[in-house]
Structures are given as C-alpha cells and as structure tokens.
A and B are shown apart, each in its own frame.
Chain A
C-alpha cells in the first residue's frame, strides 16, 4: 500500500540514510565513551596500586607483617575496591584483604599471573598498559579490573634488617589490586542508553521533519495534480490545480492548467464544429424538404401579386406574403450558409429601414401579447453595407427573444439606433501577447474586468515585481503593483525568460519616456507607454485598418433577464433558455450573421430587470 507512494519512498530512503549515519555515529560515540571511562578507571587503579605499594613499603622494610596485613585489609575492604593481594615470587598469597586466601598458592595460569608467565621465562618488566586486566570471576559476576604492580628488589630490601630477599632477586612479588567495575559499567550502560535514546530521538524527529517536508513539498502538490488529472480525465475541463509554489511541481501544475485550458478551448471548438457539422446536415435535409412547399407559396403568391394591380389592399397583403416567403428562403439559405460559414450578400442598406421591416413582421405578435415597441432611431445614420435579409433576421430574432423574455406580462421593447465612433482602444481585447522569445505573456489566472491580463516583470536595481496590464487595447486600468516611476532605469521583462520588452531607441512620441512592446501573433506589435499620466499606446496593424464608424443598434427589453451563468453560452448553437420553445439556433445564427458583417454583438442582462443586446456594425468605406 505504501510502497507505491513516492512520498513514502522518499521518506523511507532519507530515514534509512539517517538511521545508518546516526547509528554509526552512536556506535563510535559509545566506543570512545567506554574507552575514556576505562582509561580513567585504569589510571585511578594505577594510582591506587601505587598508593598501596608506597603505603606498605615502610612496613615491608621493617617486615612488620601485622601492620601490612592491617593496611591491606583496611584498604581492601573499602567499598570501591574488591580486594588487594600480594604474591611472593613463588606464587603464594602472602597478604590479602581476604584473610582466607592467605597462604594459598596461585597457579601461573591464573588470570592475575599469565600476563608475565604466559611465555616460558617470566617477564621482568611489565608495561603500564599491560598491567591491567578486566575479567569476571564467573559468568554472572560483575566485571572486575585487576591491576598488578610488580614489587622490584631495591637496595633497601636486601639491606633491610630482616634480610628476607637476596640481592640477586629482581622481582620480589606482585601487588594485585582488583577493583569492581560495577559503577563504571553502570555509567557505561547509562551513557550507552542516553546515546541510543538520543539517536532514536534524532532519527524520529528528523524522520517526522523529512516526512512533513516531503508531504508538503512533494506529496501534496502531486496529490493535487493527481486530483486534477482525475477531474480532467473525467471530463471536467474547468478544473484548475491550485498552484502554491514556483518549483518544478508548481511549473508542472501551471503547465497542466495551461494544457487543460487549451484542451477546453480545443474541445469547445471541436464541439462547436461538431454541432455545426450536424447542423449542416440537418439544414441540408431541411432545406430540400422546406424549399418545395416554399416554392409553391412563393410562385403562387408572387404570381398573384403580379396580377393584383388595382386592388391595393390585396396587393399589400400579398406583398407581405411574398417578402416573408423570400425571408424564409433566405433563412434556409443562411442556415446552409451558417453551416458552410459563407459570406453574406452585402449591399448598401438603411439599417433603420431594416429595423422597420423587421418590426412589421412581428407587429401582430407583439400587439397580441400587449408588448409596446418603442423605436428611437437616428435618422442621420448613413447606409451600411449589409445583407439586409440577414440583418433583418437578426433584428427579428432579437425582438422575438425579447417578447419571449417578457412573456405573458405586458412590457416594453425599445430599439435604438445611432451612429457611434469607436476607436480600437477600449473595443479590442488583446487575447494573445508574446515576448521576443515567444513566451505567452497573457496570464489567465489574473483577470482585469474578467479578461486575462498581460503580465510583465519590472526590475529596478534590486526591486522587482510583476505588473498586470489590462488586455483591452488602449485601456489605462493596469495593475502596476507598486512599480516605481517608469523611466529608463526600470527594466520590463518577460516573466518567463526575462527577455526585455523595452523598445530600445524609440522614445514615447507623447512623453519621451521609454516604451514597451509585445507581439500579437499575426497582428503585429502593440507598443505602449507606462509613464504616469501618459497612457500612449499604438497598434499599427490594427489602427491602420480600423473602421471607426459604427452603427449601433440596441434591443432592450424589460423581461425576465438571463442568469449570469447562461450569458457565456448564449451564442452557442443549441443553447436555448426557452426549453421546448426554442431551437437553440436563433442566437447562434444571429451571432454568425453579425460576425460575418465584421460586427460585434454583446449582451447585458440582469435577472428580473431586463436584457439589452447591443449590435455594432462597421459603416465601412
């Protein structure tokens, strides 16, 4: 279960390494601790042994055996001393703190003897280090440290009154002091335990820290990515992975989000074209079926119209039948055209006249529903090159939608037309922006007025930060995030690659300050100035081909309004808010027509207040 988690693997690896490192460290630490403690005890034992020797030397010289016994007994019965013994050359214990031992012979192989007697001829000299030995009396007894101190023959010995030792003798005997190591061993165990506990504690704490870091920096972002992937593979392309870091995983999450976004766009387009393809097939089928009955209506009505001279009333009615049947023909054709995305047949036409014609068509429908139609048309509008049938269809669609929105309640539809001047500034949204190394500067995470902003990095000496420019061309509503006054010392860079975005040697024509530039794919360079209060901007390719004269028509109703979540899908084919009532094609066709006229259609709506559709069509040359 755990071995398929990268966080676990990483933590396990790090902890194992720690375990080995700290284990080795602890082992050597314990060893050296042991060694230094023993060395200390040895030194102490040596001192003790020398002290005993010098303490008894005088009594030895005087051969005062009783005093020697007494001294050895007293010393040997101290708590920190196990026993003190003196052997003579023959191996007989002549003094001992344990009186029962006195007189016993000790074998040369005994632990206190073999140091010197292990190899044939006994050693006469013994190193300080060689004098000590550690042993146990039996398996369960505490450890003991024995120290032998050879008693060498000295002049005072053979000249002493007792004459016990001849001059030729080198070693007279051995002083053997045994010290119990119980206390030392306890100390060693205690420090061993302390080190082991410390090591385990360190390993535990480090493991927890490592585990936590792995979890925080690796596990969690990966889990979030996985959740994202699950969502996306499950079809939820609106899901975005939360990006909290700027490391590789953060970059990965960002790329994943970008990929998802592109995927969503591609899917939307695919979906749209799929819809269009089925719409095309449907339209083609419908066209053939509907065109035959329409032929009968149109031929007969136009025939009657030709023969209705002198009957003005009939003629007028027939005129409506003929023109409406022609409109039907154009609708069927535009369905096919929409499916084929072909161009409209444009002629100079009076938009107001088209509005009035559209109004005629649904006049009856509106008066039946007690809807008042208010027209506020600007008579000064020049003729616009449009496909009047298509544009009439747009107005009819919008008016029918408006009357549907009003429903059974009485209401008002207002249609206004006016001539407006639009500079590309404030109308055109910059949807893609590239740095010189072709990194996308559009940051979809930061939105200004709901539109993805253009991001740049500023740098002035050590001060740096990200600024966000409003993507509406010409807008001055940027988020400069505390950027210092824009002058030649401020560097603007691509946030990805730090390529400079400043145009060298081209000062702002308005204020003389530095200007920035980025590329819009296929649409040339956008240049601008960020100097406070200047706001100069220039998009050569757009400015040169821009038609600034527009006719704007607004269709305003006081109906039920459109919920915000439906607004974004309003112009998609088959998106209907009318349930069974609509085909869902009206606004898609409308949008297609307006788009084919290089115009724009936008909608503003508030639930319960009403909806306004705004159509802007360039007047053109």
Chain B
C-alpha cells in the first residue's frame, strides 16, 4: 500500500476559502500512480445480477488502493479509437495483485457492452489509478454507507475491508435496488446491511424508496464521534439520500457523495 495517511488530507499552507470545504480529501493521492497507465489482464467474470457482473483483473504493478477509490479504464479499437471510463473499485485493499470491478450493462454502452458481451479471461485492458481521495474510507471512522444500484460498488469495498481486517469501528450499509434479483452482492450482506426494494420485494418486505424512517433508524444509533456518511448512486438518488441525511441531522461536512456520470 502506498497510501498510508488516515487523517483528512489538508494541503500545506496557502489560500483557505471563507467556508472550509465540506468534504476535504481523506487521503493524499500519489500523482505519479494516478498518471501511469498499466496493463490489466481479465482473470475471471462472475455474474451478480441479470444486468451486472464482476470482472477480476490481474494488475501486477497495482500500488494498492483504499476502499471507495476509483480508477480510469480504457479500451482501444483497431483504428486507434479509444474509449475511457471511471469505475469504482469493488475489491478491498489486499496483496493479491488483483482488483475487481462490478459493471452494469449500460444500454448502448460501448465499454460496458464490450465487457458484458465480448470480454473473456485473458483479455487485456489498461487502467490507471487509484484516483481521488475524497470518497476513500481508511477504516478509521464509523461509516454510514448509502447506495443504490451499482452505487453499492465502492461501498462494498468498504464492507469487505471492514470484514477482512476485523475492524471494530461501526459500519452500516443501506442499499437500494429495484428488486431482490437486482441486488448486487446479495449473498454477501450481513447484519450491517439493510436492503430497500423500490419495485418488487420478497413476501412481507415493504416496497418503496429509501425514506426518512430508514435514515432515522441508522442515525439514532450514533457512535462516538458521529458517522461519516458515504452516498453513491445516480444523481437523483444522491440528491434524495443526501437531503434525507441533512434533514435527519447529519452534518453537511460529514456527507461525501459520488454520483454516476
């Protein structure tokens, strides 16, 4: 691991705006690592839901990442055309020399379409990263994770990290999906997770959006030092969930948001 800082990253001296930034980076990022393209070899594909699958890559020179970080991935066509996308990293930090991404099959998506219909173990792509420190969770603070759809991907890296390291710091996950068959990582969740189903639910489970009641139930259980909230999903979901958190008393400067785009 090249990233060791576990406190909010504050730049050295210099200009400070009148309002302290709501969500300072949690870690400093290695700019050289962020700028270097590396070869990644697909080693395994696992289906998660009818629309999402996990792709495991061998990246021998991977410098390590923290849960919540993302990378940039690019594909090149025979005529030189290049397509690149940002993807959150699903796997926790480990020393296996592998990383995992979980990708939705986006309608008409040229990159996700390639992954879902063409890619097979042995194929090579290029990645660079890890990128961005503001959504990283070093495992130091109580974490309240709220995600929808494939927005759960960076949050799952946090859940897996929490388990793998046997961390005692509180962690809760509120995850929204259209229905049980669309719930990514369904078999991996434990007592820390509350699934919410918006279209169809198992017998006896209510159908509806993430609500004030869900958020109130989590915030009522306030750990020492309060929660650091991480929200990930579509912009519509992120706006909805972050407003619920603010309305329930979660401080604005303790809400980090990663929106699809």
Decide if A and B are genuine partners. Answer: no
